[in-house]
Structure 1
Amino acid sequence: MDFEFLFNNIVELTVTGLVLGSIYALLALGYTLVYGVLQLINFAHADVFMWGTFAVAWLFILLGLHGNTDLAGAVPYLVLALVVAAATSGGLAMLVERVAYRRLVRKRALSYIILISAIGASFVLSETMGIRDLIVEFLNNAVNAVIGIFGGHIDLSTFFADYIARARGITTLPLTIKPTTVLSIGNFNLRDTDITIIAAALIMMVLLDQFIRRTRLGREIRAVAQDPEAAALMGSNATSVVSKTFLIGGIMAGVAAVLYQIKVGSTSSSIGVVLGIKAFTAAVLGGIGNLRGALLGGLLLGVTENFGSAIFGTQWKDVVAFLLLVLVLLIRPTGLLGQTLGRARA
């Protein structure tokens, strides 16, 4: 155990833990929202996030971006990426709700049946991205069948040659965003990318919290979460509310996808597995069904992982994170905050 390393690098470990925790927190919001309304876990949510990370990569490839830039120079592209990733993840989340949940919920299927359906949707999203070489070939044929009527032709497979060659490998952003030091604290350099990720997560959390508490749709979401039958009698369309809840969760995943790409700069079809489990852990840690709990759980999990890695070694990182979850739930089974979405104050 290396407590000296932890003490000497506590500022750096805390900041990098908060950066990682911010991504966990945004992902955890999707789990929390769906659970708060349906009392079900959307296990496809992490793969919705994964598609959002690829949406950022696709956009950069289509724009022909290459080389290196600082964060300020990448802002216009990142704003556009935010829109594209949010639309991609939000649309996929609504599709998951429509295909994997809606019919089963209407038929009042047992929860484990809906759970299996969600897991199946997760594998479909993951494996579809894994065979994207075949998808590009299909799209190539479809596009050329249309433009061929006008005598045109385009070879998408050539354009995406490097991209599809690594269908199940790691896809790196063609544009590298290099962080810039804005403040030095001892041996630690605080970077603009870290500040941006933490600030963005906090801003999105505040905006979502106020949206749920103060808007008409937010009140409907809380009403359906608390008592679907009573909400229906008051004129709320539960099906529409659930669909919009998935959309909001998907948008949060899209934002997390952009922040993830700012920090990591690469993605793969399998990243949703570990990140999804960590985000779900953060949601449970903070209190599943509680928006502020998702933020608290995510930040706490990220910092704890970093501290655990410093003391015990990186191979113990996941052990420390899940041990924290077990200890918290043994003391407080409802999580740190524990308040459900349906009981949130107006």
Structure 2
Amino acid sequence: MTLEAFLQHLVNAISLGSIYALIAIGYSLVYGILRLINFAHGDIFTYGIYFAFYGVILLRLPWWGAYIFSIFATMLLGVTVERIAYRPLRNAPRISLLITAIGVSFFLTNFATVVFGGRPKSFNPQTGVYPREFLRMIIFGNVRIPILTLITIVVAAVAMLILTWIVYKTKTGMAMRAISRDIATTKLMGVNVDRIISFTFAVGSALAAIGGILWAMRFPQVYPYTGFIPGLKAFIAAVVGGIGSIQGAMTGGFVLGAAEVMIVAFAPSIAGYRDAFAYVILLLILLVKPTGILGVEIAEKV
């Protein structure tokens, strides 16, 4: 493989890994606070794409206005799910929350099928969901990089930097970290725990919407089960990096994205099995370091 080809695949790997990282962070944020695997996160990812699509088609918003609408609508959806489905079970056994999360996922998927229809919708410049200029190429010697790929990397990087600033440089972020350690003690310190948890779901859902829009640009269609595979892979990325750790989710996303792209690049004969390698990586990590690459032992909340 030539250097140009390697650089081409490397950029693609970073782009795909950025999307996985954005979705994986949502899993890690919720798990870090509630010790809950929010299996509905992949469906929220799908709704983010639908909101952007119909923001252009039905509401006649410009593509950038539809994206802003999608992010806020998806945040509202995430907060609503937390308020209706998870908050009443805050003190219930973990298994009850797990079953509820699976039930919410099934409900959102089937609701999308009823409301939006099961037929795939085209998410491409012809429908006005993003400008044709995004499909142009930037050429460096023999390396051809789509502008869309660079946009994905930049948007994901900015989103991650903003999230890092919120978590580590603001009082809300301090409260989030405190709750992840001890909810009861944080309540005694006067923190509105319900508000912070709702904010966490809102942030995770916003990242899912951003990841969903970037995913739909890369794979230009949306249907009710769009979020199943990327959601599952993002969950694997979160576990590989260290579930509950923001930096771990980022690391796991990039590891998974690099593995997928490089397997196709170096071994095209087994490209059809690239999805299986995500599970192989998961198994290897769990055998070697069960807490993930950057994970630490976390005591179970009672």
- SS in structure 1 at match of 2:140: strand
* Alignment check: 8 A CA contact 1:308 1:316 kept: no
What amino acid is the match of 1:257?
A: G
Which ranges of structure 1 fall in alignment gaps of 5 or more residues? 66-76, 134-166
Which ranges of structure 2 fall in alignment gaps of 5 or more residues? none
Q: Name the counterpart of 2:225.
A: 270
- SS in structure 2 at match of 1:182: strand
Aligned-residue offset at 1:87: 1.1
Deviations 1:199-232 (A, max 9, x none): 1111111110111011111001101111111111
Q: Does 1:109 align with 2:105?
A: no
Aligned CA RMSD, in angstroms, stands at 2.0
Deviations 1:293-335 (A, max 9, x none): 1111111101101122331422110111221122122222111
Q: Answer with 231-240 or 321-330: which moved more.
A: 321-330
Correspondence 1:249-260 to 2 at 5 A: 249-260=204-215
Q: Name the counterpart of 1:301.
A: 256
Q: Name the counterpart of 1:168.
A: 118
Which of these residues, 16, 20, 25, is aligned with residue 21 of structure 2?
25
Q: Structure 2 CA distance, aligned partners of 1:305 and 1:26?
A: 17
Q: Name the counterpart of 1:214.
A: 169
* Alignment check: 8 A CA contact 1:18 1:198 kept: yes
- SS in structure 2 at match of 1:199: helix
- SS in structure 2 at match of 1:131: helix
Q: Does 1:325 align with 2:282?
A: yes
Which of these residues, 217, 237, 245, is aligned with residue 290 of structure 1?
245
What amino acid is the match of 1:197?
A: T
Q: Answer with 285-294 or 77-86: which moved more.
A: 77-86
Deviations 1:260-300 (A, max 9, x none): 23322321101111111001011111111111111111111
Q: 1:100 to 1:46 in 2, by over 3 A?
A: same
What amino acid is the match of 1:233?
A: L
Q: Structure 2 CA distance, aligned partners of 1:96 and 1:126?
A: 13
Which of these residues, 334, 337, 342, is aligned with residue 291 of structure 2?
334
- How many residues are aligned here? 291
What amino acid is the match of 1:86?
A: I
- SS in structure 1 at match of 2:145: strand
* Alignment check: 8 A CA contact 1:212 1:218 kept: yes
Aligned-residue offset at 1:98: 1.1
Q: Answer with 277-286 or 77-86: which moved more.
A: 77-86
Q: Structure 2 CA distance, aligned partners of 1:319 and 1:255?
A: 26
Q: Name the counterpart of 1:61.
A: 57
Which of these residues, 87, 103, 109, is aligned with residue 126 of structure 1?
109
Q: Structure 1 CA distance, aligned partners of 2:65 and 2:19?
A: 19
Q: Answer with 80-89 or 51-60: which moved more.
A: 80-89
Which of these residues, 137, 140, 153, is aligned with residue 184 of structure 1?
140
* Alignment check: 8 A CA contact 1:177 1:262 kept: no
Aligned-residue offset at 1:340: 7.9
Q: Structure 2 CA distance, aligned partners of 1:14 and 1:177?
A: 25
Q: Name the counterpart of 1:79.
A: 64
Deviations 1:82-130 (A, max 9, x none): 211111211111111112111111xx21111111111111111111110
Q: 1:47 to 1:185 in 2, by over 3 A?
A: farther
Q: Structure 1 CA distance, aligned partners of 2:98 and 2:298?
A: 20
What amino acid is the match of 2:19?
A: I
Aligned-residue offset at 1:18: 1.7
Q: Which has the larger radius of gyration?
A: 1
Which of these residues, 34, 39, 59, is aligned with residue 38 of structure 1?
34
Q: 1:199 to 1:341 in 2, by over 3 A?
A: farther
Q: Point out 4+ residue stretches in structure 1 off by more than 4 angstroms.
A: 339-342
Q: Structure 2 CA distance, aligned partners of 1:112 and 1:316?
A: 33
Q: Structure 1 CA distance, aligned partners of 2:169 and 2:298?
A: 14
Q: 1:340 to 1:204 in 2, by over 3 A?
A: farther
Identity %: 33
Deviations 1:228-256 (A, max 9, x none): 11111110122221111111111111111
Q: Name the counterpart of 1:144.
A: none
User: Normalising by structure 2, what TM-score?
Assistant: 0.90
Q: Structure 1 CA distance, aligned partners of 2:212 and 2:298?
A: 24
Aligned-residue offset at 1:341: 9.8
User: Normalising by structure 1, what TM-score?
Assistant: 0.79
Q: Structure 2 CA distance, aligned partners of 1:230 and 1:204?
A: 30
